[in-house]
Amino acid sequence: MFAILTDRYDTFFKEKNMVTDFLAKLEERSGIQKQYIATGAVSIIALYLLFGYGASLLCNLIGFVYPAYASIKAIESSSKDDDTQWLTYWVVYGLFSVAEFFSDIFLFWFPFYYAGKCVFLLWCMAPISWNGSQIIYTRLVRPFFLKHEAVLDTVVKDLSGKSKSAAQSVAREGFTMFGNDKNK
């Protein structure tokens, strides 16, 4: 198992991408091998997630910034597969965020919660076939949605109609108030 991880680690540094290019520039300037720079950076981030103030912000940035960038790249590409991958991530991310909102008062007390959350989000966005968003979507979200699709469609249609009606009512009231203020 350790040999497989080491091989993947080494293979990553041989690839040509934005991260390895940046690490190569740092290596050139500092004289420190890019593997050590990356390991040090990951270690510092991990320690900060475990013990640092504002770990919530860092964790949320990790769960948002790269996926947002990758989603924009996917939208701009001609491939549909990357669109599906990132749409799946955002569905799972959204559900996780809603669940976290309701359970935050309890989760806050768990030691190293934000480190665990960050690992979970990294697993959900990992470029592997068994990433978290694919597994959660295919095993939980999709079966639930397919079973309750008709009911969910009705609820969305009703809420859409009610929100449109409320917006029109507010607009009418605003125009009435504005019109009356103008006449005074």
**How far is CA 164 from each of CA 152, 155, 157, 160, 173, rounded to the nearest angstrom?**
18, 14, 11, 6, 14
Tokens, residue 10: 């080494």
Domain around 24:
1-51
Is 160 domain-assigned?
no
Q: Which residues of the chain have pLDDT under 70?
A: 1-2, 5, 17, 108, 179-184
Residue 183 confidence (pLDDT): 52
- Residue 33 shares a structural domain with residue 114: no
CB 45 within 8 A of CB 58: yes
Q: What is the value of pTM for the model shown? A: 0.68
Residue 143 confidence (pLDDT): 95
Number of structural domains (the chain) is 2
Residue 165 confidence (pLDDT): 82
- Residue 80 shares a structural domain with residue 101: yes
Is 158 domain-assigned?
no
Residue 45 confidence (pLDDT): 78
- For residue 124, give the nearest of 80, 89, 75, 78 by alpha carbon: 89
Our measurement of the distance from residue 147's CA atom to the centroid of its chain's CA atoms, rounded to an integer in Å, reads 26
- Residue 21 shares a structural domain with residue 75: no
Residue 50 confidence (pLDDT): 73
- Residue 46 shares a structural domain with residue 121: no
